[in-house]
Amino acid sequence: IQMTQSPSSLSASLGDSVTITCRASETVDSYLNWYQQKPGKAPKLLIYLASTLQTGVPSRFSGSGSGTEFTLTISSLQPEDYGTYYCQQSFTTPFFFGPGTKVDIK
Amino acid sequence: EVQLLESGGGLVQPGGSLRLSCEASGFSFSTHHMNWVRQAPGKGLEWVAAISDTGAGTYYADSVWGRFTISRDNSKNTLFLQMNSLRAEDTALYYCVKEVIVQQKFDHWGQGILVTVSS
């Protein structure tokens, strides 16, 4: 199951709403995870099962979708939200990741 | 506190071998599936291999199938990745990752260990 993401990068202002899209080549049901990675750091789990917020993750992050199309939304962009965001399907091995979306703060 | 500490990385020549270890603490290691994920310099994340809680099931990416072997020692809370026939394209930071079985989520990651394949 191949994963694609769009856009590959974006630049947004503080307070903006940002949406990243992830598509799977075939259905992954709701087994879709989102991770944030900052430079030089390990990835951090944000959302699992497409829409469930991981403990400790701010509520401005939300996920939606099922089947083959998913979105990650940051409702009000904060300075600490820079980094690269990856989707990952965990429906079946190989657990492919998307190519990533780099988010910059204007 | 969950901790995953990778070791065993370094510089190796093409065709060589290396064994990575990941010492786990802060959770019930024997009841969790575990994974290795790698990241080549400046590139995205690539899932490499997974192993079930008992070690009975192992799964691999096509890119490493037949060359890498994932294993675990639940008595020592340790995960391993034996890497043989290494290639330049295996150069990457290798992460040890804890998986939560029911939700199929990768909830804790190690800090990563660098493997460099070069002559």
Q: What is the pLDDT along chain A (106 residues), one digit of tens a residue?
A: 899 999 999 999 999 999 999 999 999 999 999 999 999 999 999 999 999 999 999 999 999 999 999 999 999 999 999 999 999 999 999 999 999 999 999 9
Compare CB distances from B105 to A33, A86, A99 and report the shortest one's residue.
A33
| Average pLDDT value for chain B | 97
Query: Quick check: B78 contacting A, CB < 8 Å?
Result: no
Using 50, 70 and 90 to split pLDDT, how confident is the model at B75? Answer: very high
Query: Quick check: B102 contacting A, CB < 8 Å?
Result: no
Q: Lowest mean pLDDT of A12-16, A36-40, B95-99, B101-105, name the range.
A: B101-105
Q: Is the dihedral of CA A12, A17, A22, A23 positive or negative?
A: negative
pLDDT at B108: 97
pLDDT at B63: 97
Query: Quick check: B52 contacting A, CB < 8 Å?
Result: no
Query: Quick check: B103 contacting A, CB < 8 Å?
Result: yes
**Distance from B67 to chain A by nearest Cα, in Å?**
16
**B112 in Cβ contact with B39 (< 8 Å):** yes
Using 50, 70 and 90 to split pLDDT, how confident is the model at B28? Answer: very high
Burial degree of B74 (CB within 10 A; 0-12, 13-18, 19+): middle
pLDDT at A1: 87
Phi, psi of A66 (to 5 degrees): -165, 160
Alpha-carbon Rg of chain A, whole angstroms? 13
Return the closest-CA partner of residue A21 out of A80, A65, A76, A79.
Answer: A65
